[in-house]
Amino acid sequence: MSPVGRISLVLAAAVLSGAGTANAGEGGWLSGDWYLTVGATGMVAPNFEGGKKYLLSASPIISLGKAGPAARFVSRNDNISLALVDDGGVRAGLTGKFLFSRDDGTADELKGLDPVRWGGEVGGFFEFYPTDWLRARAELRHGIRAHNGFVADIAADAFYDVTPTVRISGGPRVSFASANYFDAYYGVNAQEAVASGLSEYHPGGGLKSTGLGGAITWKVTEPMTASLFGEYSRLMGPAADSSLVRERGDRNQFMIGVSTTYRFDFTM
């Protein structure tokens, strides 16, 4: 079984287990205290995944779940989440990600390639704490509209409170993807090769990238946080072998930015 397939089984089991636990409670799963965290991220990053030119962009941060023990750690890398189980030590549920369109207007390097439509990814996540200062999280998502593949992200973050309101954190990241994902973002068919001047390339599935990330987070008020973060990833496997990356891009991808979030508590 492929790495993506193995991760999908683990996440599916975690989500189903969480849903069963939630439905067992009195009054139904929807009743009780909830939280909604919203925010935004501004960053300097490559103009497209695999690109070598950088630009300023922004993205939303959204997380929804049932209130429970205060979360020990959250990361700007966490995609939109709906927790079905959250007991402080283990959290699992549904996750999603917005995907912006990509075409020859995004970067000159993409001229001649078929556009990638805007869309999203939906799936499940599972996170736990091996120790009091380390969180591990995995997400498995399937593309909608933009691509028809799977993407699996795994990250581990160690964290330390310098003061009661300032925290530093960081750790490794690794991503996998299926052939359909790589074909949408890195493939070059015969027609595209003629139109773009790139070498024809038909990718398979496998390891997508490895890297490191870190952040400094400031708890401005009880519900509001702000952070400064940096990320480095190196494209691997089918992504690194793509003619788009080899001939016009860069395997090394850097990102730096700031983010802020605000948490709302409410009762259903």
Q: Are 85 and 92 in contact (CB under 8 A)?
A: yes
Q: What is the pLDDT at residue 30?
A: 75
Contact 78, 97 (CB under 8 A): no
Tokens 């997508």 label which residue? 208
Is residue 84 very low, low, confident or very high in pLDDT (cuts 50, 70, 90)? confident
Element (H, E) at 139: strand 134-144
- Give 167's pLDDT tier (boundaries 50, 70, 90): very high
- In this prediction, what percent of the chain has a pLDDT beyond 70? 87
Q: What is the pLDDT of residue 135?
A: 97
Per the model's pLDDT, the better-predicted residue between 141 and 71 turns out to be 141
Distance between CA 76 and CA 94 in Å, rounded? Answer: 17
Tell me the pLDDT band of 68, cut-offs 50, 70 and 90.
low
Q: Which of 42-56, 62-76, 87-101 has the lowest mean pLDDT?
A: 62-76
Can you state the percent helix, strand and coil of the chain, rounding each to 5? 20, 50, 30
Q: pLDDT by residue (tens digit) across 20-29?
A: 444 444 557 6
Q: Tell me what pLDDT residue 1 has.
A: 47
pLDDT-derived band of residue 17, with 50, 70 and 90 as boundaries?
very low
DSSP letter at 108 equals G
The pLDDT score that the predictor gives to residue 88 is 75
Question: Can you give the residue range of the structural domain that contains 80?
Answer: 3-267
Q: How many domains would you assign to the chain?
A: 1
Mean pLDDT of 57-64: 81
- Contacts within 8 Å (CB) and 24+ apart, 52-59: 52/248, 52/249, 52/250, 53/107, 53/109, 54/254, 59/98
Structure confidence at residue 20 (pLDDT): 45
- Name the pLDDT band for 32 (thresholds 50, 70, 90): confident
Q: Which helix (H) or strand (E) holds 212?
A: strand 206-219
What is the length of the chain? Answer: 268
Which tokens sit at 227?
């952070």
pLDDT band at 189 (very low <50, low <70, confident <90, very high): very high
Checking if the pLDDT of 75 tops 50, the result is: yes
CATH number of residue 214's parent domain? 2.40.230
pLDDT bucket at 70, cuts 50 / 70 / 90: low
- The residue among 86 and 247 whose pLDDT is bigger is 247
The alpha helices in the chain, defined as continuous H runs, are: 3-23, 179-186, 190-196, 237-241, 243-248
pLDDT at 102 over 80: yes
